[in-house]
Amino acid sequence: MQEPILNKAKKDYHSPMHTAEHILNQTMVRMFGCNRSMNAHIEKKKSKCDYKLPESPTEEQVIEIQKKVNEIIDRHLPVYVELMSRQEAAKIADLSKLPAEASDTLRIIRIGDYDACACVGQHVSNTSEIGTFQIISHDFENGRWRVRFKLV
């Protein structure tokens, strides 16, 4: 079942930035085999995500992350909501961060064929609304890689 993208959204994140975070998360999962961000701070001007990694990505890998995120944005993928059971959602999304009090019916955000994630935040309806993703800085400490980014 699909529903309009802004219905039932609870967190008031900046929609383009929050959607870019989803794409970054999936890119990190695909490139490094890590989990989605363990911590994120999403704001309109700039945002940050933390990932648990055994070592810092090289400068070449950081450039590749930015390139891949922008390639997905440039595909103009639809972003939509699907409501599904927890059991169905577990087949397509990582539910490990799901709060214990979450209902059996979950709100899954899909970004075309690229990403599916349980989320209560607001998102754009198409990746063409995001802009250009730019990594502005990053650092690595004690197995935590923090990346800061903005949209231009």
Residue 149 reports pLDDT greater than 60: yes
Q: What is the pLDDT of residue 101?
A: 85
Lowest mean pLDDT across 83-87, 99-103, 116-120, 126-130: 99-103
Q: Sheet containing 39-41: give its strands across.
A: 39-41, 47-52, 144-151, 133-141
Residue 7 reports pLDDT greater than 70: no
Q: What is the pLDDT of residue 11?
A: 56
Query: 75 is written with which tokens?
Result: 């595909």
Question: Which of 43, 48, 51 has the alpha carbon at shortest distance from 17?
Answer: 43
Residue 6 reports pLDDT greater than 60: no
Reported pTM: 0.91
Helix, strand, or coil here: 71? helix
Digit-coded pLDDT (tens) for 32-68:
999 999 999 999 999 999 999 999 999 999 999 999 9
Q: Return the amino acid letter for 86.
A: R
Helix, strand, or coil here: 106? strand
**84 versus 3: which is more confidently predicted?**
84
**103 versus 25: which is more confidently predicted?**
25
CATH architecture entry for 2-151: 2-Layer Sandwich (3.30)
Lowest mean pLDDT across 7-16, 81-90, 91-100: 7-16
Q: How confident is the model at residue 96 (pLDDT cuts 50, 70, 90)?
A: confident
